[in-house]
Amino acid sequence: MKSKQYLLDTNILIEFMNGNPFVVEHVLDAGIDNCCMSVVSLHELYFGAYYAKTKKEEYFDREMKRINKLLDRLVVLPLPEKADGYGKIKMTLRSLGKLADEFDMIIGGQALTAGLTVVTDNVKHFEPMPEVQVENWVTRS
**pTM value?**
0.93
d(CA 70, CA 66): 6
Domains of the chain, earliest start first: 6-101 (3.40.50.1010)
> What's the pLDDT tens digit per position in 46-95?
999 999 988 888 899 999 999 999 999 999 999 988 888 999 999 999 99
Q: How far is CA 141 from CA 38, 55, 118, 129, 138, in A?
A: 24, 35, 16, 22, 9
